[in-house]
Amino acid sequence: MAVSHFGVAAETEWETVEEVLAVVGTTPILLSDLELAALVRLVDAEPEEAESTYRSRLLDARIRLEIEFRDIEDGGLLFRLELDPQRARQMLIERGGGTARLDSEFDTKGLVTADLDELVLRVAAVDAFVQQRLRPRISVNMDEIEAAYQQLLVDEIATSDEAVPPLAAVRDRLFQLLVERKLNDEIERWLARAMERQEILRFSR
């Protein structure tokens, strides 16, 4: 008597290799992108900040970087800017604790040099755009410096026994403060415009 034997295939065990956390345009932001952003401290954690809160802010920062980079690339500016990738790479490596630490963490987390290269390109491009296109638009006049002097120094010190420094002694510092404030405002306006030009999906909180 012939006996037939039917092999029963074992149920496939699925393993998550990568996870998509967000999409900017057609570019996915992956879990590995977030792990790399954490390694190089793309943003710093606040004192006593919960890990979940920090990772959410970190993802926001990585999405923001991608939006800005895509806006530069889509606008045809990527190859018209003077990028300094070496400076960006060195900054990220230092924030990540040095080459040896990053190499070890890369092996543990399955990251490769190309992952860092992509992040370096984005950081370098955004920095170049800010410094070469946005910063030159900023101007600060003497009236604004005098108003800041009154508000930030004279009015603040008026209730104390401290002596108010003369305007001439703090003019340069007030100038730089106002420049950076205006530059930050300009960056936020650019980001708002860039967000309108991209479809953004965030799957992870």
- Total number of domains in the chain: 1
pLDDT of residue 9: 52
Q: pTM, whole model, 2 decimals?
A: 0.86
Residue 102 in any domain: the answer is: yes
Helix (H) / strand (E) element for 28: namely strand 27-30
Residue 151 in any domain: the answer is: no
Q: Give the tokens for residue 44.
A: 């710093």
> CB under 8 Å to 95, separation ≥6 — which residues?
40, 41
Residue 134 in any domain: the answer is: yes
Residue 3 in any domain: the answer is: no
Tokens 């998509």 locate to 20
* Residue 77 DSSP SS3: coil
Evaluate if residue 96 carries a pLDDT over 60. yes
- Identify the CATH number of the domain in which residue 125 sits: 1.10.4030
Residue 55 in any domain: the answer is: yes
pLDDT of residue 155: 77
- How far apart CA 110 and CA 123 sit, in angstroms, is 22
Lowest mean pLDDT among 2-6, 32-36, 158-162, 173-177: 2-6
Question: Which structural domain range is residue 128 located in?
Answer: 20-138
- How far apart CA 177 and CA 135 sit, in angstroms, is 13
By CB atoms closer than 10 A (0-12, 13-18, 19+), residue 4 is exposed
Residue 125 in any domain: the answer is: yes
* Residue 160 DSSP SS3: coil
Residue 7 in any domain: the answer is: no
pLDDT of residue 3: 46
Evaluate if residue 23 carries a pLDDT over 80. yes
The CA-based angle 121-125-130, given to 5 degrees, is 155
pLDDT of residue 163: 84
Mean model confidence pLDDT for the chain:
91
Residue 83 in any domain: the answer is: yes
The CA-based angle 17-20-25, given to 5 degrees, is 140
Q: How many CA atoms lie within 13 A of 72 on its CB side?
A: 26
